[in-house]
Structure 1
């Protein structure tokens, strides 16, 4: 195998001579003449599902924000490029992916729920995403219909690890039904399994990575490129390189090696190279990795993920707008895309994500304005998907709420609007900042926050002792007491609380399972929880608990039909769940939680409703 890592690409003077020769050659290849029209090639993006059944499994709630965020810069480049005639001098914008035009306000307000038109028939940027939420025969048939109608030159797949097996199948369908297309995969699975180490100039590949799976023959070579790291600048740069070497004939394959050679030329032409990411090109005899280290981006510098898309999700927890039995139309937003804490099981931990994209704590006004913009685009509610809202910084939380209240007051906006966010027990019980916490919860409620989601994980002290959660040692109380106090504190400010519970952590056995189910039941009895979501520990590449349990070979590539009881839990497959749980344990968790928690337990049907089904 011939595996190589190219020199790290950093901001540097462009090789304009070679780039000019390539651009001129492309004009000749396409037969361009001054005054002619630029060429736009068809492209589509797809959110890879994690579920295979509409009746039993849990689909991810909300809009596909990871994918939307990754598309922002390439869509902005394409959608804002003038449709005027070609300039006299060759330009990188002579050939562009065709993302369509931005949706207007009427479209945004009218379009919600699942997309119903073919990508080929929808001229808006919003129409260029295939988002089935469930991978079954109807979804497969629809995907093939999309490919045949559009004939995309590039197909972009965004996948979490649990969806990787379906990503490989979707890629194979793309290669079959749109011959010559380039297939690119990114998302959390890529981030978890492809890590460039700058100090040693090496590439760490998990056994579960797309690159390794194809390299050792566990999958056919149906993926051309993997993008790991900062998705928006990485994808934009890669598509510019594809555009530079794109053959004029629609059926002719793009040369992966030529794209890799074009990346330094395109990077050198950037007036401001941004983002830290790695592009891996998968070749017939190995791979070539191109690491890029540009200026760090703030979320405020990137377009809103919803600039190109309609707010489509509904979340049953929000009902003030009273617009649908499925709940309010809910936008999803991030102030921080990685958790600042170091829980052993979490794939969103800063230890895995390393370099998060975020709003600075001084950019609360910008974040408030973005939320107001989402309201204008039809959102009736919002949920902040941050692992911890504003990283648990109460000063930033207070300032954001103040800014959002001021924005609505200045606009005279009295529309019913509510929102929710995620916090942790110890962020709420920060004794050193108790006054700031109390003010923050008051301000959150006044600014429209009606719901907080907290990861309780377990109610067994012997389990929580191993988790590495943000446990403030100056709070000596038992975990059960701290959970109860945190929920009571939030409820005292008029905010509802939901929780996630995770079974299978270190120290787990049938006794601790029973203890957690009963203690959660008591919280429900005392009206401290309005929703509890049971989950099974799933090993993610790159997390501490995965390494501690010796799970270095996770099968996230074999296409296997799942079955109960695993299908009752999000992401749970027999090959990748906690080795501390037996199948009998999982049946017990499913049945005992349903009996003890009753309707407060978050069910598969409710999660599908949250997803907009």
Structure 2
């Protein structure tokens, strides 16, 4: 089928309340016998609600499969066996915390498993409902390559299947843009359509900061890093080609979804620069780098800027890493204070025509005066350097991280409805119910004060832009 037809079977949901009618309309139109849902931890209640609605509309004719980051953090191998965190969706169903709406929950690398699952459900001699065909095809699923775990709840029991490898051949993964097209645009790229691209050089970050759900000790280290630049180049080329074919009047851009661009590996970045220079694509792109990666190898950033990089997203996180016990990615503390190094990196990017955005993370154990001081510093940078813009506010959530000691089940929304939802309206990820271990939950008055300071920061930034 065409890219357009494939994309019509795909829904990216921002809000359960706002997007549920579109979800219901998609189910009614397609009447699928296989529904794949992906969810991060804070989205688990929404995934449950979507699965329940699908069962109401389609009945036993649909097999609902849950995957994504949350299952991969809550179902994992331990000494040759399969462990289920208290928030494992299968365990939640078995213990009665959520209704039995997922027929299969998949952790790990499921690309081959998904294809095999489709073959099982489409088998002409399968007979019965889709659930019957799934139950009868488990032996076939077990042959799918890759490192994955597929779990289901059946009559009070938890059954697990585990793939034994080989590792996923990342060089063979198809570019998402070629499969589904490109329809949306990041504001930072001036109206160009923006594709999401990946080097697939790992499932998380090369660093190991304690508070982060992307940390290396949870997601694993780099995977097949020697060909990461080639994979990323193939995806960048796909975005440029697809936009040129489908919407040539818009122009193409891409955002590299690696936790840090190619893991910050200098040789891979140099190879990417050479390939982009030779290809001469009509493409602007952005990605993520740490403060120390920028300051240590500004020569690489300049080279990237020469072949299309014009936006870098950085993690500021906190006023002073020492106040929260340190950050693994803070590698050059002996060179200078974190805030000073961060401003220097933003200034250096701006001097080379590269704009920057920033993520801020509260709820790490800092005091309120430190939060407000950080926002004041960000406002000062915006007045002087025009960046960071945008700024992403977040309030830390304790993710499963393969650590059952905290005991969170995550079956309720992380932020209660009403005044808490309004207070966190400007935040990306946020949590009231699931603070980091050893950190007190947020205080409503303090969150409101932070939001008011952030709103003033945005207004001040707009005035500075007009004045310039």
- For normalisation by structure 2, the TM-score amounts to 0.87
Larger Rg: 1
| Whole-angstrom distance in 1 between the partners of 2:298 and 2:331 | 18
**Which of residues 374, 377, 383 is equivalent to 1:525?**
383
1:388 aligns with 2:274: no
Q: Show the counterpart of 2:269.
A: 397
| Cα 1:594/1:142, change in 2 over 3 Å | closer
| Cα 1:357/1:556, change in 2 over 3 Å | farther
Q: Show the counterpart of 1:330.
A: 194
**Which of residues 539, 544, 551 is equivalent to 2:406?**
551
Deviation at 1:252, TM superposition (A): 6.3
CA contact (8 A) 1:195 1:205 kept: yes
1:24-423 paired onto structure 2 within 5 Å: 101-103=1-3, 124-136=5-17, 139-180=19-60, 181-197=62-78, 200-244=79-123, 247-249=126-128, 253-254=131-132, 257-264=135-142, 266-267=143-144, 273=145, 275-319=146-190, 327-335=191-199, 336=201, 337-354=203-220, 360-378=225-243, 380-408=252-280, 415=282, 417-423=283-289
Deviation at 1:280, TM superposition (A): 0.8
Deviation at 1:287, TM superposition (A): 1.2
| Cα 1:281/1:255, change in 2 over 3 Å | farther
| Whole-angstrom distance in 2 between the partners of 1:280 and 1:355 | 25
Alignment RMSD (CA, Å)? 2.5
| Cα 1:369/1:473, change in 2 over 3 Å | closer
1:479 aligns with 2:342: no
| Cα 1:474/1:345, change in 2 over 3 Å | closer
Q: Show the counterpart of 2:444.
A: 583
CA contact (8 A) 2:379 2:461 kept: no
SS in 2 for 1:401: helix
Unaligned runs of 5+ in 2: 244-250, 463-468
| Cα 1:591/1:355, change in 2 over 3 Å | same
| Whole-angstrom distance in 1 between the partners of 2:290 and 2:197 | 18
- Once the two structures are superposed, residues 495-527 of structure 1 have per-residue CA deviations (whole angstroms, 9 ceiling, x without a partner) of 111111111113x11121122122222222221
1:459 aligns with 2:342: no
| Whole-angstrom distance in 2 between the partners of 1:351 and 1:367 | 24
| Whole-angstrom distance in 2 between the partners of 1:102 and 1:252 | 26
Q: Show the counterpart of 1:564.
A: 422
| Whole-angstrom distance in 1 between the partners of 2:163 and 2:364 | 36
Deviation at 1:403, TM superposition (A): 0.7
| Cα 1:230/1:594, change in 2 over 3 Å | same
| Cα 1:489/1:262, change in 2 over 3 Å | same
Unaligned runs of 5+ in 1: 1-100, 108-123, 268-272, 320-326, 431-436, 602-613
Q: Show the counterpart of 1:534.
A: 393
- Once the two structures are superposed, residues 184-230 of structure 1 have per-residue CA deviations (whole angstroms, 9 ceiling, x without a partner) of 00011111111112xx2222222122112111101111111011101
CA contact (8 A) 1:369 1:404 kept: no
| Cα 1:575/1:511, change in 2 over 3 Å | same
SS in 2 for 1:398: helix
Deviation at 1:293, TM superposition (A): 2.1
| Whole-angstrom distance in 1 between the partners of 2:382 and 2:426 | 21
Q: Which moved more, 1:298-307 or 1:216-225?
A: 298-307
**Which of residues 455, 461, 465 is equivalent to 1:594?**
455
SS in 1 for 2:65: strand
CA contact (8 A) 2:321 2:327 kept: no
- For normalisation by structure 1, the TM-score amounts to 0.68
- Once the two structures are superposed, residues 20-76 of structure 1 have per-residue CA deviations (whole angstroms, 9 ceiling, x without a partner) of xxxxxxxxxxxxxxxxxxxxxxxxxxxxxxxxxxxxxxxxxxxxxxxxxxxxxxxxx
SS in 1 for 2:393: strand
CA contact (8 A) 1:245 1:262 kept: no
User: In proportion to residue count, which structure has more helix?
Assistant: 2
The structure whose RCO (Cα within 8 Å, separation 6+) is larger is 1
Q: Which moved more, 1:478-487 or 1:439-448?
A: 478-487
